[in-house]
Structure 1
């Protein structure tokens, strides 16, 4: 992980869900979007590996979409996914660029083999990503390259966009009881509700909600 500044504001840049011997797969849920995700089969025996690289997005980033109210983050996410689709040619072909080329702001004349079955289109990824994300990624890759010899190489490539590592909408809940602020016995939980950003954190949040539910609704004297 690295803390990377952009216009004087630092945000985290970190790896997410490293998939050894895995594949990059399409994960869009609507026409006109390109979304990618990573997975590994149980044998982990493909010749590829992939990892999501995430830049933290905060409320200030979605201000241009303020007219959408609580859904502003969702519209921001959709705009990035639609830009990726347009850059790839309007199909599920994903935009991509060699890693060192991206950092050095150079076009990639060719791309390495990929596990992403719809295929890749070589583009300048800085034209796809919002500046606050693209610039922090660029600087973050430099930091990773300093920490890990061989990381920053043109044998690797970036494929966009993995834009759904966590929910852009948070369902409100009570700070203590963890129930919804208006609906009794509804416990917003995990990634989809905006309270986790991965498998482990979602499991931990689920455990917290189960314990809160038991404290309030289990018969008195029953074990937890």
Structure 2
């Protein structure tokens, strides 16, 4: 009897535990369903703005592409119009230039023909004058030749003008300001730069920062 009573108590406990487990399981399943529903709702709430934003971006892209295409076509049309107007102007200008060229040719032909007729009429009258001039030039040529020979002789005997060695600006690279400073330092002649003594070299060292200082000696020798 005791064993039977214990078995009944155990069955009751097992049944009670099973009931509690079922209740707990049902509650957990309900909580999971609620969580999934909330997750779906949140996902829908997030996806809807994203879809809206993507749609707006697509519309904006389409509008910008259409605007760009319209602007491109407008600019292209303006370019074609400008090109046509330039070509038209060039064509008109070329026609006018051709017409002016033809008129100039006609004027030149007329002028040349009139000049030939005038020159033919003047040939007879100028023949005597040319004969007189030729005779006069023959008599005058010996005198001119003698004068020319005398002039060439004087040119050959004339000696070149000596260079002023005190003018330091004759040396390439030395300007008036540098020449004045060199004279104040005691460099008064081109010879002192071309062939400097030890003392002159010390004086010239004060101008070593002047541009082209290293070539002053060679340039001075060229002047001498």
Measured against the shorter chain, the TM-score band is under 0.3
Larger strand share, 1 or 2 = 1
Report the TM-score, using the length of structure 2 for normalisation: 0.15
Report the TM-score, using the length of structure 1 for normalisation: 0.15
Larger helix share, 1 or 2 = 2
